[in-house]
């Protein structure tokens, strides 16, 4: 496995090898969720590039940038064992300078849901993803459905800016009890870990209602809110795949999204129905 920190060197290397490239951008503290993206990228491309970069511009003041889990050595080993060909491991100064061109998330779709509780978060996400895509110039880039709004905004950016990379969505990997894997799960104490399962139960109950043909969004989200009640709920929404609110759930074209706080840890989850 080759490791690069310099963007220009990586760019030249990838240009010279002239192969199909699958790209998996991450913030490290790798788990099975990240590995499933790598596996999919390996199936579909000749070369797989993973980036590990805890992007400062997507954290708001007072968020967990400083204490975000960093496991550099373990991550390198995981990448090697997962058959990653190239690891891109830049420092902030390799990516950003003092006076920057930057991208703004769309004013409506970028400022609802997670963008509402974290204004400017998606400006940082889109800016870094654009930079990373320009450095790697991949054939395909892989993003988890777990971060559904991020996936939606990145797909929108690629379409609206006429970029040629293919964005490939990947299903959410879960623990045996259903909790979606996340690098932030390490923040949870063992009682909080149990509390977090309310998020899974709420989505499960929504799935059960839909299977009984109860499709009214308000009925479904009210039931979900009852299950989530002890947690601090940021949002519970039913949207279509274009991320517009819908009153009646459309099977095959809907996402049910939850964000709730367990202690101080914000957890996201969703199901695509």
Between helix 190-211 and helix 217-228 the angle, nearest 10°, is: 160
When asked if residue 172 is in the footprint of ligand AMP (CB under 6 A), the reply is yes
34 given a catalytic annotation: yes
Q: How far apart are CA 58 and CA 54, in angstroms?
A: 9
Interface pick for ligand AMP out of 10, 144, 165, 168 (rule CB under 6 A): 144
The size of the interface with ligand AMP (CB under 6 A), counted in residues, is 17
CB of 181 or CB of 246, closer to ligand AMP: 181
CB of 117 to ligand AMP, least distance (A): 17
When asked if residue 173 is in the footprint of ligand AMP (CB under 6 A), the reply is yes
**Rounded to the nearest 10 degrees, how much is the dihedral formed by the CA atoms of 194, 203, 122, 150?**
120
For residues 180 and 32, is the Cβ–Cβ distance under 8 A?
no
When asked if residue 181 is in the footprint of ligand AMP (CB under 6 A), the reply is yes
Residue 113 falls in which region: left (phi positive, over 0), alpha (psi -120 to 50) or beta = left
Interface pick for ligand AMP out of 64, 94, 147, 175 (rule CB under 6 A): 147
Of 70-78, 140-148, 160-168, 243-251, the segment contacting ligand AMP by CB under 6 A is: 140-148
CB of 121 or CB of 198, closer to ligand AMP: 121
For tokens 């993973």, the residue is 50
When asked if residue 82 is in the footprint of ligand AMP (CB under 6 A), the reply is no
When asked if residue 1 is in the footprint of ligand AMP (CB under 6 A), the reply is no
Q: How far apart are CA 79 and CA 92, in angstroms?
A: 21
**Rounded to the nearest 10 degrees, how much is the dihedral formed by the CA atoms of 174, 263, 207, 270?**
-60
Residue ranges in 151-170 that form contacts with ligand AMP under rule CB under 6 A: 170
CB of 172 or CB of 221, closer to ligand AMP: 172
Of 92-100, 181-189, 241-249, 259-267, the segment contacting ligand AMP by CB under 6 A is: 181-189
CB of 34 to ligand AMP, least distance (A): 5
Catalytic residue annotation = 34
Binding site for ligand AMP (CB under 6 A): 26-27, 33-34, 36-37, 143-144, 146-147, 170, 172-173, 180-183
């Amino acid at each position: 496995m080759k490791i690069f920190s310099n963007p220009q060197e990586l760019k030249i290397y990838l240009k010279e090898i002239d192969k199909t490239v699958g790209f998996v951008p991450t913030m490290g503290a790798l788990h099975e969720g990240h590995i499933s993206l790598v596996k999919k990228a390996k199936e579909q491309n000749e070369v797989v590039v993973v980036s590990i970069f805890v992007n400062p511009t997507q954290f708001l003041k007072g968020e967990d940038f400083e204490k975000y889990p960093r496991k550099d050595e373990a991550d390198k080993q995981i990448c090697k064992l997962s058959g990653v060909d190239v690891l891109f491991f830049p420092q902030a100064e390799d990516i950003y300078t003092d006076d920057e061109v930057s991208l703004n998330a769309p004013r409506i779709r970028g400022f609802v849901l997670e963008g509402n509780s974290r204004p400017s978060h998606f400006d940082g996400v889109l800016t870094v993803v654009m930079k990373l895509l320009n450095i790697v110039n991949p054939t395909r880039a892989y993003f988890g459905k777990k971060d559904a709004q991020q996936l939606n905004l990145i797909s929108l950016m690629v379409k609206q800016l006429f970029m040629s990379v293919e964005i490939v969505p990947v299903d959410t990997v879960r623990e045996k009890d259903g909790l979606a894997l996340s690098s932030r799960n390490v923040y949870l104490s063992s009682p909080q870990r149990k509390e977090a399962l309310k998020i899974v139960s709420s989505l499960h109950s929504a799935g059960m209602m839909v299977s009984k043909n109860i499709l009214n969004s308000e009925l479904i989200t009210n039931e979900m809110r009852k299950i989530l009640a002890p947690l601090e709920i940021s949002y519970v929404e039913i949207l279509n795949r274009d991320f517009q609110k819908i009153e009646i759930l459309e099977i095959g074209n809907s996402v049910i999204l939850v964000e709730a706080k367990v202690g101080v840890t914000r957890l996201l989850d969703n199901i695509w129905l």
